[in-house]
Amino acid sequence: MTGKPFRRKPLFRVFVWGCGTTSLLITVLAVWIGVSLFAGPDLMELNEYHPFRSVEARERYLERDDQRAEAWPVPVESRYVSTLCGDTFVRISGPMDAPPLVLLPSASAGSLFWLPNIEALTAEYRVYAVDNIFDFGRSVFRREFKTPDDFMLWLDQLFNALELGDEINLMGISYGGWLASQYALHSPERLHRVVLIAPVATLFPLTGEWAWRGLLAMVPHPRFLGSITNWLFADLIELDPALVEEMVADVYLGLRCFKTKMLVTPTVLTDTDLHNLTMPLLFMVGENEKLYPAADAITRLRETAPGVEVEVIPGAGHDLTYVQTELVNAKVLEFLGRP
């Protein structure tokens, strides 16, 4: 019996070619993400639309920001504050003679991230909601930010320009929480009370899961952004999925409109650092926090900084200011209002 033998070679070649192509695509994607992460803008050639990619990108982003700002529930003064680091955009609300409270937002967000909290906070404080100068928002940086010290210089100059004195209440969330912890170590004499809400890093290094989700989020497509947003805001998805979609759309717009830059990597405070946080400080975390287990955060603080107050917010994770807005506001105001 004769016949042509079964030919495996072409199929094997197809398999190898397919694997090679897939590997090549993954490599190209990884290189693209790496270049995007580490490539900074050429600050010697700042143009009229910096830090945006183009005039059209600036107009598109600011139009969206204006639309979102219509939801600001109280009277507001919008101000650009000049510093050596650039021009910082600040939304100011609340009684002029009330104690100052500065709000630092999370990464890839601006002052509008505080929309759920601003009405309650401005009832008792003169609130300064800041757009991080080296992130999405209306602030315009004029120099690269490479270390935490760069942010400390910026905040010193910002607080001086706003004439806030040495009794500042400072509150930050996520990346803004880490910045607030750094400033508490840098200039404790200027601070009255400090609130850290789910600060990124600070107590523990960022996890591998956060890293790979974060890398995917750098790909400018809503589906990839959802990888990290849906993970961090799992409780909010159950409560208000449309709001999470709006957040993803805002970040996606920022990635498309702003020149690529790399944020300063948040660091972990040493035991000595935590021990040196001697001003009244509130650490607030959701029980479902994904960046680190809430129980581990409490344990470390109790062992190294027993003077730090801790509040665990039930039924929420990194989205605690949205999922448990009233509870968060009440806890913050009670802490800040103590003599």
217 pLDDT band, cuts 50/70/90, is low
Q: What value does the mean pLDDT take over residues 236-241?
A: 95
92 near 79, Cβ under 8 Å? yes
Concatenating the DSSP letter of every residue in 57-88 gives HHHHHHHHHHHHHTT--S--EEEEEEETTEEE
Give 113's contacts (C-beta < 8 A, 6+ positions apart).
105, 106, 173, 321
pLDDT of 186 strictly over 90: yes
Segment of 181-185, 202-206, 247-251 carrying the highest mean pLDDT? 181-185
| Catalytic-role residue among 93, 106, 181, 289 | 289
Which residues share a beta bridge with 141? 86
**Intra-chain end-to-end CA distance of the chain, in Å:** 100
Choose the catalytic residue: 106, 174, 181, 311: 174
- pLDDT value of residue 253: 94
Q: Active-site residue 174, yes or no?
A: yes
Tens digit of each residue's pLDDT (9 = 90 or more) over 163-174 = 999 999 999 999
Which whole number is the average pLDDT over 260-277?
94
Catalytic member of 50, 106, 139, 318:
318
Domain boundaries, the chain: 38-336
Residue of higher predicted confidence among 209 and 185: 185
Average pLDDT over residues 17-26: 40
Which tens digit of pLDDT belongs to each residue from 73-129? 999 999 999 999 999 999 999 999 999 999 999 999 999 999 999 999 999 999 999
Residue 222 has pLDDT above 60, yes or no: yes
Residue range 38-336 forms a domain whose CATH class is alpha beta
**Is 289 one of the annotated active-site residues of the chain?**
yes
Q: What is residue 40's predicted lDDT score, i.e. its pLDDT?
A: 44
